[in-house]
Chains A and B, each alone.
Chain A
């Protein structure tokens, strides 16, 4: 049973470019959340998708957008990249959206470097 998978593993972009990161949730999960983790800091919640809609969002600008597909996989898009967007981007999947309990399973992350 595959866990959460993310691609690519590493990515290097330049300022102003756009990037798309991908995530496949754990089998049986229907909810995907994205987090940004800067070096030496805790993960920060970006947004969460359920039934192909953004359900919850953290304090991130509109440059950060996402999508969820019918097979529950998800993409994170970041436009007009800034140096400060360099981070580890984590995807987490869970089930039972709308319930308080949210045991999330994390993928290994995508390391994005913006030059």
Chain B
């Protein structure tokens, strides 16, 4: 049974780097890993997507080890506005499975 897990919550201070890890043991060979950010009463917003190794864009980095059984979203120098719920999404064959979400609280 496909399952995706994440820490339920994390706290950080402004300016720090935050790393959120998602476990996805049963990821299919050709599936990608995508991370989303969600604010209350809004739809999820795309952050970054990757297949293996490391991907970086203007807002985040994504690290994926060789076995692809986990992935780590890295947010450099977070600000108060980064307080949100972060989800990983993994394609499992004919299904797409979101993780339970990690509630990140950024403190001043």
Contacts and interface: CB of A to CB of B under 8 A. Distances in A.
Interface of A: 4, 33, 35, 41-45, 48, 56-59, 90, 92, 100-109
B43 A109 contact: yes
B84 to A, nearest CB: 13
Contact of B51 (A42, A57, A100): A100
Interface of B: 30-32, 34, 36, 41-46, 49, 51, 87, 89, 91, 94-101
Given A102-B32, A102-B91, A45 B44 contact: no
A55 to B, nearest CB: 9
Contacts of A56: 94-96
A41 B31 CA distance: 23
A43 B46 contact: no
B43 A100 contact: no
A42 B98 contact: yes
Contacts of B100: 41-42
Contacts of A33: 96
A43 B43 CA distance: 10
A51 B98 CA distance: 25
A103 B96 contact: no
Contact of A42 (B46, B87, B95): B87
A103 B46 contact: yes
Nearest to B95: A58
Contacts of A92: 43
Nearest to A4: B43
Contact of B99 (A42, A103, A104, A105): A42
A106 B45 contact: yes
A17 to B, nearest CB: 24
